[in-house]
A and B are shown apart, each in its own frame.
Chain A
């Protein structure tokens, strides 16, 4: 089945460590997004990419970086993790012109 997958699904790390979250999709969609969800809140955008050569900052990009290695892969990095980056992270995809977004299963990240 065409899908959006995220790895790892759960991760516990320590303050100051570098960590990468990965997203892959088999939907053939051009557009990919990284969101973060904090307890009791909706999702907020970190970065998005409309194609391999296009990267855009979202609402809360400070402390994060991304890499679009291929149309199907979009990675999120925390260069030096801090406790307030503890959250649930979602990757999403969208076909150009469709307006509908599809979400991966999420990565639960804890920074101690």
Chain B
């Protein structure tokens, strides 16, 4: 099945810094989503981005489907950005579940 790898596994930032999180996947996809899991465990949809670029406030994402990777950019980080960021994909020829990476744990220090 399709493999999803996220890097880095852990990231510590000072408030105000910028960061880039990466998601590599092993096959073509028809769905790629980025989620933020907050310290209370809730999964928050950030982007649905199987290809192209999107921006939402301080966050933006780019997926280069032909090269099988996606990037999540966080600018001017805030302490409320702390948590785990997950990339999840669904293979291009399949329906059903998302395959999740193991996540990047982000800690933003004041």
CA–CA, A99 to B32, complex, Å?
9
Q: Which residues of B contact A105 (CB under 8 A)?
A: 41-42
Count class of interface residues, chain B: 20 to 34
Interface of chain A: mostly helix, strand, loop or mixed: strand
* Interface residue ranges of B50-98 to A (CB < 8 Å): 50, 86, 88, 90, 95-98
The size of the chain A interface, using a CB distance under 8 A, is 23
Report whether B102 and A45 are in contact in the complex, using a CB–CB cutoff of 8 Å: no
Which candidate, A18-26, A36-44, A66-74, A77-85, is the interface stretch facing chain B?
Answer: A36-44
* A106-B41 contact in complex given A99-B31, A99-B50, C-beta closer than 8 Å: yes
A108 to chain B, nearest CB (A): 7
CB-defined contacts of A59 to chain B, threshold 8 Å:
97
A43 touches B96 (CB 8 A): no
Bound Cα distance from A99 to B43, whole angstroms: 17
Binding site for A on B (CB under 8 A): 4, 30-31, 33, 35, 41-43, 45, 48, 50, 86, 88, 90, 95-98, 100-103
